[in-house]
Structure 1
Amino acid sequence: MTKAVHAAQHVTIEPKNADRKAYLVGGGIGSLAVAAFMIRDGGVPGRNITIYEAMPVLGGSLDGGGGAAEGYTLRGGRMLTTDNYECTWGLFKSIASLASPGKTVFEETIEFNERNVSHAKARLVDRNGAKVDVTSMGFSMQDRIELVRLSEAGEDALGASRITDWLSPPFFETKFWYMWSTTFAFQPWHSAVEFKRYLHRFMLEFSRIETLAGVKRTVYNQFDSLVRPLASWLVEQGVNVLTGCTVTDFGLKTEKGLTAINVIHYAMGGESETIAVCDDDLVFFQNGSMTDASSFGSMTSAPKRLTKNDSQGWALWEKLADGRPEFGNPAAFNTSIAESYWESFTVTLNSSVFFDKMEVFTGNKAGTGGLVTFKDSAWLMSVVLAHQPHFANQPAGVQVFWGYALHPDRIGDFVPKSMSDCTGKDILQELCGHLNFDLDAVASAICIPCRMPYITSMFMPRALGDRPPPVPKSSKNFAFVSQFVEIPEDVVFTVEYSVRAAQMAVYQLLNIEREVPPILHHDRSIKVKLDALIKAFK
C-alpha cells in the first residue's frame, strides 16, 4: 500500500476537537471535502460529523445513475486538469481508490491519463458534417484587442457586466468562441468577470483548446471515481450520513455582532426534527445548487419543465440571506432560467456500431478525443465519447456516451421542435443528422435527456457581495461551501471550486495553522503568455 493511502487511514485526533461536532447541510463534493479535511487535518472524529442530504445518494451534481437495462444517466461532467486543481488533488492524494487496490485516487487518475492521452482530432464539425480546420482561432485584430482589454480589466471595472458588453458580435462567430464556450459552457450573456477569470486560470488551455490536450479524465465517471471513494473513506472514519433528509431552516442567535446557528430544523421520513447546535459545534451549508430542479425524460417523453418551486433547493439560502446581505444574494443567480439552463443527454448502447463509426469519423478512439461540437447546429450540440466502461457496473458489450446543447430553446435542424420538447428518440435523430449517420447506428440506443434550469446559474452576472465568502465576517460558527461563494481568482463550475471553499472554511473555523494550497498562476509564466499570443495570431 502506498504511503499516501496508508496515511489517509490513520488519523490523529486533536484533543481540542475530540468533542466538537459538525453538521454538514448538503451531500455534494463540497460537504464531502469538508468532512475529509476536518478528519484529516483538523483531528475531528468522524463519528462527530453528520451529513444531511435530501437526495437518496451523496454526490450532489457529481452524479451517475441508471443502468444498462433502463439507460445510464449523467446530468453532467466537470472538466478536470492536473495542471491546476491544487486543493482537489491534494485531497485525493489521501483517498484510496476503489478500482485500483494500493493506489490513491490521484495516482490512479495520473496513470489512467498516461495510458489514454487526450488529443482531439474533430473538435468542431460544420453544417455539412465535415471536420473544421481549427489550427487558427479565427480572430480579427478587433477580436484580439477586445479580448486583451477584457482580460486585463480589473474586476471593479467589469462589475456586473456581461461578456457581450466587452466583445463585439463577430467575436461570437470565431472558432475560438465555439471551442471555449462549449468546453466551459459559457453563454454571451454570462458574467464578464467569470469569463476573465477563466482566461487567466486556464491560460494553459488557451494554446491547446483545439485538442483539449490539457483535459484529464477519471477512470470512470466522476461519481464512481471521485464521490464513491471519498464517501467510502468517510464512512470508514465513522461519519454519519442521513440521506432523504431535508434541512428546512436554521435557528440563529446574534451576540456581539456575530451570528451563530444554534438550531437545525429538518424533515425525514415524514417527520420534523430539530438538532440543538452547541457553542463549539460547527455548521457547513451548501448554499444553492446548479442542478436544482433537474428533470429526466426518456426515449418517449421530454423532461418536465421544473423550477425552484418544485424542489425548494434555493429556499434555505433565501431564508438565511433575507435581510442579511452579508450572506449573499441568491436572486442574482436563480431568477432567470432562460439564461441559466441547458439540456444534456446520456446514451446507452448495446452495439458498437455508433462508437465504431465515430472512431472512423473523428480519428479518435473513445477516451482520447474531446467534445465534438456541431458549431452550426441550432442547439449548439456537442457529444463526447469517454473510455469504456464509463460506469463501474457497466456490463461488457455496453457503451455509454454523453452530450449536451447550450441552446435547447431553439428549433432543431433535423427535428421540427425545440430540444426542450424532444424525447430521447428525437435527440438521437438530430444527432445522426449532424453526423450524416443512418439511424441504424443508434438502433439499440437508450437516450435519456436531462433538463437543468440552473446549470450555469453561477455564471450569471453578479455584483460584489452577491456571493458570500466561505466564512462571512459576521459568522461565529458556520460557513458556506458551494459554487456560490466568493474565492478570489478561482473559477466556478469546477470540482476545484467546491473543494477549495471546503478547505478554506475548515481551516478558518478550526484555526488550522496550515496553508491552503495557493492557486498556480500559469498566466504569469512568460512561456504560457507567449504560447497564448502565438495561438491568438494564427
Structure 2
Amino acid sequence: MLKKMEKSNMMKLLALGAAATAAGVAARTLYERTGKSKKAKRMDSKNNSVIPKGKAYFVGGGLGSLAGAAYLIRDCKMPGNQITIFEGMPIFGGSNDGIGTPEKGFVCRGGRMLNEETYENFWELFRSIPSLSKPGRSVTEEILDFDHAHPTSAKARLIDKDGTILDVKSMGFNQKERMALLKLMNTPEEKLDDMTIEEWFADSPHFFTTNFWYMWQTTFAFQKWSSLFEFRRYMRRMILEFSRINTLEGVTRTPLNQYDSVIRPLESYLRKEGVIFAENCTVTDIDFAEGDEITAKVLHLTDHGVTRMLELEDDDICIMTNACMTDSATLGDLHTPAPAPVLRPISGELWSKVAVKKQGLGNPYPFFGDANETNWLSFTVTSKGNKLLKLIEDYSGNIPGSGALMTFKDSNWLMSIVVAAQPHFPNQPMDQTIFWGYGLYTDKIGDYIKKPMKDCTGEELLTELLCHLHMEDRKDEIMADVVNVIPCMMPYVDAQFQPRKMVDRPEVVPAGSTNFAMISQFVEIPDDMVFTEEYSVRAARIAVYTLMGIDKKICPVTPYVKDPKVLVKAVQTSYR
C-alpha cells in the first residue's frame, strides 16, 4: 500500500526528474561564458567596506540560510534589513530542532554530532556569534569548553540480544573486506554512479555482520542500500573517527540540544542586526529570466495563506534550500503512534519545479522517490526524576553525556539510544530527565512488541527498549515516572544518502548563475560529507562569497586522508 501511495504522490517528481537529469548534463561549460559581470557590481572584493546595493532572499529557514545571512552581514557588510529569510513553518532552524514543555514532554527528532577536527567553517563562523548564556564568549568557545569538560568515551557501544555489552575494539574484518575498503578509498567517484554499499561488498556479505558496520551504520544512519558515493566520502572525511568508532571519542557535544545551542544564538544575532524573518511564508515557485543564464526574477509566495509575488531587482540575490531531510515528519505521544506521513516533500516539490526550468539545477527524484528506503523513526523519553537514567548509567558504565550511542545490534528495529548530559533543554526542570533513541528498520516486527516500529505508541517503544535492557521487571515503576514518550516518523531523513548519479546534486552556485544559489544537504560540494552541520555552513559560505564576489578564503576540507600518520593508524585499526 505504501508503495502505491508513494508512486501516486511522486508522479510529478518522476516526470520532472527525468527532464532535470537531461538538463543537468550540459551545464558545466556554461559557467565560463556567463554569470560574472553582475557579481562584480554587487561587491568590490578589494574593498569590503562598500555597502552592497541589493537585497538577499533566502528560501527556507534552516541552518544554511541563517549562516548565509551571517556571512552577508559579517563579510559583505550587508545591512540586516536588506536580508529576508522565508520559512514555511512558524519556527526557524530547519532540521536542527529541540522543543517541548515539562508538562507535555520534550522532542529531539535526532542528534547532530559535531566534530572539532573536521567542522572547519562551522567553528570559524560561530566564533563570531555571541553565546546567549556566556557573556563575552562565542558559541564556538561555549560548545568546545563544554565538550572538553564532558568528554565522550562510550563503554557500551554494542549490546547483544542477551544484554551483554560487547568488546568492539576489533573491527571484525577479514582480509577480503580490508582490501575492498582500500580499493573503494582509491576509486574515483566518477566510476560509482548509482552504486550502493551492498553492491560494492556483494562478494563479502560478512562485511554487514562486522562490529565496524554496526557501529558505522548507526553512528551515521547508513543503510546497505545507501549511496556508495556517500559511504566513500564518509570513510575519507572521517578517517580520524575510524580508529575511535568504538568509543566515539571524536564526537563533540553541545551544552543543550542543537536548537538551543546553535540556532537560537545565531537567530538572536541576526535579529539584532535587523534581518527580516518571514515565518509561515512558503516559496512555492521561482521564475527565471529568459536566456541561457540563471537569473531568478520572481518568487511566488504563500504568506500566511495569502498568495503573492515578489520581484527581484537587478542587484538582488536568491539562495534556496533545495530540499530538507525532515520534510513531512509526524509526531505521536505516549499512547498514539506517529501518524503515517503524507508523502509530499514540499521542499523537493519546489526543487522539481525549478530543476526543469534551467540547466544544472539537479534532479530530486533519486532522493525523494522511495520513502521505504529513506525513513526512520526516533523517540524522546521525558521522565520525572532520574530513576531510568541511573539504571542505564549503572548498566552502561557511562554517566549521562559521556556515552554517545548504545546500539542493540540484534534488535529487529536496530534500535539505538543516546543519553545526553542533563538538562538538555533550558526549560527542563531539575527533577526531569530526557533521552532519545531511534530505529532504522521501521517496517520490522519488534522482538518483544509484535508490531512494526512505525505503528508503535511511545509506551510500546519504551517497553521494547526496557526488554532489550533486560529491565522488564522494572517496567511498572519506570512507567509511573514517565511524562511522555514522543515518537517521530521521518520519511525522508535518509534521503541525502540515496544512490544517485554525479549530476543529480546541483552545484551550490550552478553554472551560468548570475544571482541564484542552492544550499542544503542535497547540493554538491566535492570531498565533503552530507548529513552534517558543516555541510550546511560550507554551502552557505560558498553561495554568499560566489554571488557577492568576495575574495576571501573558505576553510578547505582538511586532508586527513593524505596524512601518513592518520593512514597508518587507520590500517592498524583495520587489523585490530
- TM-score between both structures, scaled by the size of structure 1: 0.96
Amino acid aligned to 2:383: L
Aligned equivalent of 1:179: 215
1:100 and 1:352 mapped to 2: Cα distance?
Answer: 27
The 5-angstrom pairing of residues 92-491 of structure 1 reads 92-167=126-201, 168-255=204-291, 257-309=292-344, 312-322=346-356, 324-437=358-471, 438-439=474-475, 440-445=477-482, 446-491=484-529
Q: Distance in 2 between matches of 1:333 and 1:114?
A: 37
Question: Is the partner of 2:310 in helix, strand or coil?
Answer: strand
CA distance in 2 between counterparts of 1:524 and 1:392 reads 42
Letter in structure 1 aligned against 2:140: F
CA RMSD of aligned residues (A): 1.2
CA shift, 1:535, in A, is 1.0
Contact 1:380 1:405 in 2 (8 A): yes
Residues in 2 aligned to 1:16 and 1:116: alpha-carbon distance in whole angstroms: 44
CA change 1:323–1:506 in 2 (3 A) is: closer
SS of 1:227's partner is helix
Output the amino acid matched with 1:511: G
Deviation at 1:487, TM superposition (A): 0.2
Structure 1 residues 34 and 51 mapped into 2: Cα distance closer, same or farther (>3 Å)?
same
Q: Which has the higher contact order (CA 8 A, sep 6+)?
A: 2
In structure 1, C-alpha distance between the alignment counterparts of 2:513 and 2:244, rounded to whole Å: 43
**Deviation, structure 1 residue 14:** 4.9
Partner-residue secondary structure (3-state), 2:289 = strand
Cα 1:58–1:179 shift into 2, 3 Å: same
1:442 shift after superposition: 3.8
Deviations 1:238-293 (A, max 9, x none): 000011111111121134x2121111111122211111100110001000110000
Question: Which residue type is aligned with residue 552 of structure 2?
Answer: R
Give the whole-Å Cα distance in 2 for the aligned partners of 1:441 and 1:140. 43
Letter in structure 2 aligned against 1:196: R
Counterpart for residue 28 of structure 1 = 62
Residue deviations 1:114-138 (CA, integer Å, cap 9, x gap): 1101111000000001100111111
Aligned counterparts of 1:418 and 1:50: Cα–Cα separation in 2: 43
Q: For 1:49 and 1:343, how far apart are their aligned partners in 2?
A: 35
Match of 2:263, SS state, is helix
Alpha-carbon distance in 2 for matches of 1:228, 1:155:
37
Q: SS of the counterpart of 2:347?
A: coil
Q: How many residues align?
A: 524
Structure-2 separation of matches of 1:113 and 1:312: 36
CA contact (8 A) 2:48 2:75 kept: no
Q: Is 1:522 equivalent to 2:560 in the alignment?
A: yes
Deviation at 1:148, TM superposition (A): 1.4
Give, as a single letter, the amino acid of the residue that structure 1 aligns with 2:436. W
Extract unaligned runs of 5+ from structure 2. Answer: 1-46
Percent identity between matched residues is 46
Give, in angstroms, the shift of residue 475 of structure 1.
1.5
- The answer on whether the counterparts of 1:137 and 1:536 sit within 8 Å (CA) in structure 2 is yes
Work out the CA distance in 2 between the residues paired with 1:537 and 1:270. Answer: 59
Task: Report the secondary structure of 2:323's partner residue.
Answer: coil
Q: Deviations over 1:22-42 (max 9, x none)?
A: 001100000000000001001
Aligned twin of 2:570: 532
Shift of 1:113: 1.1
SS of aligned partner of 2:259: helix
- Hey, what's the Cα distance between the residues in 1 that align with 2:231 and 2:443? 23
| Letter aligned with residue 530 of structure 2 | V
Aligned residues of 2:507 and 2:523 also touching (Cα < 8 A):
yes
Show the counterpart of 1:4. none
> Which moved further from structure 2: 246-255 or 479-488?
246-255
2:36 is aligned to: none
Deviates more, 1:87-96 or 1:65-74: 65-74
Is contact 2:52–2:76 with CA below 8 Å preserved after alignment?
no
1:346-371 deviation line (CA, Å, top 9, x unaligned): 11111211111111111110001110
CA contact (8 A) 2:294 2:358 kept: no
